[in-house]
Structure 1
Amino acid sequence: MRREFIVLGTRILTQHLSVFKPFKHVVVHHMPHQYSEDMSKCSTDYPLGLLFKDENKTSDLVDTLRHIQKEYVPKGPNGVSNVLVGGDRLTEGNCRNLQWAFSDGATKEDRLEGLVFKFEDWHAIRNLFEIYHRIFYDCTSSKDHGTLHSNMTKLRCSNAKQGPHAAYNAYKEFVRKDTAALFLAAAMEHWGLEDVTGLGPNLSETSAARISKSIGILKELLENTDTELEFISKTSAGCVNGVKWDVMVLK
């Protein structure tokens, strides 16, 4: 989790803090995983047509699953392959129950063994937001700084107060803004920045040293990686409490 938060933090800092914006093209924008290569390939979409069925009716759902098994599950010399069938939690549960009900079929097709049921990520994320909302949200905490309710008001995300199930898009946008605000607040305090647009005239010696050290680490990373970006140091100099420090930018 720490590694993932580092990736998220670098995205946010290079997007909003002017001093780090030159690095926005070299940060990780997609977390690598075991399926990265496959997911980077272009997908081919095929229209499957419409079935005028109601999944809330058992008979219609049976017809739908049989249709998918017959028409869309690949068959090869080694038998029936598998395809993923997604939906919300209720759909997944109903489909699994029907698959178990047909488990005494004579063939794999009759047993619907070519279908692998799963719930879609969209529903999983919404449920995660619901847990987050139940734990941290209190409608009586609007005057308490730093609480979820107070942050919704400050970030002008009042629609998110309805909760993720009633206003999913608004809640998702609030979580994105709130996460970015927390990262920026911590970074600005750590480096002694007055605002996101610049270093500020009252930058302390400690803050200047921290920024120079951070940029030095980034410089070393860039020099040891294959990149077309050329790093130029010592383009300008500032003075903080009588101590000179270098500002480095990307060409």
Structure 2
Amino acid sequence: MLRSEFKELVGRVVVQHFTAFKQFSNVLLWHIPHMYSDVMAQKTEITPLGLLEVDEKVSADMVKAVQYINQRYVPYTSDLENGNNISKPVVHVILSGDQLTKQNADAAIRAKANEDSSFERMEGLVPVTADFHCSMNFNDVIFKRFYSPSSQCDFGSFFHLRNVVHRTNVTKSALGDNYRPCNTFIQDVLDASIIAVVLHHFSLHTQDDMPVSMPTSFLSNEEKQDWFDEQILNIVDTYILNESPEFHNMLQGNLQSPPQSTAVPQPIVCQMPRCSHPPFKT
């Protein structure tokens, strides 16, 4: 599954940036199907919900807001069970926002966990973190892991590449107003890495060169797709999902620290002429 998805993602970059591969755009899967593809393909209906004069940082206000949304926009039904009129949500409604909003909404719902009915417990609401905020937090994790001003001399590091292309609006945090420049920078670095790999893999000098192994024509779209898939999968297997033990250890979280040198440290002798200071211990 991961291998096939990498194939499509790498293939998009190759088709977009290499002249000889633009002919494969009609056999490339531009949208990876998933279990919600049919739902996502439907036209979105946007309905203004108005404004509530509440502060989500205040617990009482957040409870009031969630109760209002639960009452207005979550359908409930009543079933006669054991002589009691018990309300149940017909559907669960997603309440999305940033992480803080989700946390506050969860707290507001938990505050009503001991109420008698599903309606009063607001069981029809499902607080989630919106995709945009998930993307923002994911980018921030990437920057915290790979972006460091101390790596400016490390060729190919995030900070080094940031200086090379003079992206002064890229900072160490990808949150808030920094999201768009940092997100664009991540995409550009990824595309550039794939371009460099393809140039090396096919022994090309420029993005306009024709690979020697590419046929001059194809008899059918099936033949074209088979050849293209084989080439991209070869790149994925060689440069991304390689079979090295280090790679599998990294996936399993078992990447070992580099072996420590067993050499006995030698004392450092002062190089100043006529210095009589004894050697420094290391």
Quick check: TM above 0.5?
A: yes
- Using the size of structure 1 for normalisation, the TM-score is 0.78
Structure 2 gaps of 5+ residues are 80-87, 227-282
Q: Residues 86 and 118 of structure 1 are in contact (CA less than 8 Å); yes or no, is this contact kept in structure 2?
A: yes
Which structure's residues are more often strand, by fraction?
1
The letter of the residue matching 1:71 is: R
What residue number does 2:119 align with? 109
Q: Residues 155 and 174 of structure 1 are in contact (CA less than 8 Å); yes or no, is this contact kept in structure 2?
A: no
Query: How far apart, in 1, do the equivalents of 2:193 and 2:98 lie?
Result: 32
Query: How far apart, in 2, do the equivalents of 1:70 and 1:221 lie?
Result: 56
Q: Aligned residue pairs: how many?
A: 215
What residue number does 2:215 align with? 212
Superposition deviation, residue 140 in structure 1: 2.1
The letter of the residue matching 2:135 is: I
Superposition deviation, residue 19 in structure 1: 0.3
Superposition deviation, residue 20 in structure 1: 0.3
| Structure 1 pair 102–71 and aligned structure 2 pair: CA distance change class (3 A) | same
Structure 1 gaps of 5+ residues are 200-206, 224-251
What residue number does 2:83 align with? none
What residue number does 1:247 align with? none
What aligned pairs does 1:60-71 form with structure 2 within 5 A after superposition?
A: 60-71=61-72
| Structure 1 pair 151–41 and aligned structure 2 pair: CA distance change class (3 A) | same
* One of 170, 174, 181 as aligned partner of 2:185: 174
What residue number does 2:32 align with? 31
Superposition deviation, residue 70 in structure 1: 0.6
| Structure 1 pair 215–165 and aligned structure 2 pair: CA distance change class (3 A) | farther
Superposition deviation, residue 108 in structure 1: 1.6
Higher relative contact order (CA 8 A, sep 6+): 2
SS at match of 2:126: strand
Superposition deviation, residue 77 in structure 1: 6.2
Query: How far apart, in 2, do the equivalents of 1:183 and 1:103 lie?
Result: 50
Superposition deviation, residue 212 in structure 1: 3.4
Q: Residues 24 and 225 of structure 2 are in contact (CA less than 8 Å); yes or no, is this contact kept in structure 1?
A: no
What aligned pairs does 1:1-251 form with structure 2 within 5 A after superposition?
A: 1-76=2-77, 79-81=88-90, 82-165=92-175, 167-199=178-210, 208-209=212-213, 211-212=214-215, 220-222=223-225
SS at match of 2:204: coil
Query: How far apart, in 2, do the equivalents of 1:52 and 1:197 lie?
Result: 58
Q: Deviations over 1:23-63 (max 9, x none)?
A: 22331111111111111111211111111211111121111
The letter of the residue matching 1:55 is: E
| % identical equivalent positions | 27
What residue number does 1:237 align with? none
Could you list the structure 1 runs, at least 4 aligned residues long, displaced by more than 4 angstroms after superposition. Answer: 213-219
Q: Residues 174 and 183 of structure 2 are in contact (CA less than 8 Å); yes or no, is this contact kept in structure 1?
A: yes
Query: How far apart, in 1, do the equivalents of 2:117 and 2:49 lie?
Result: 25
The letter of the residue matching 2:208 is: T
Superposition deviation, residue 120 in structure 1: 1.4
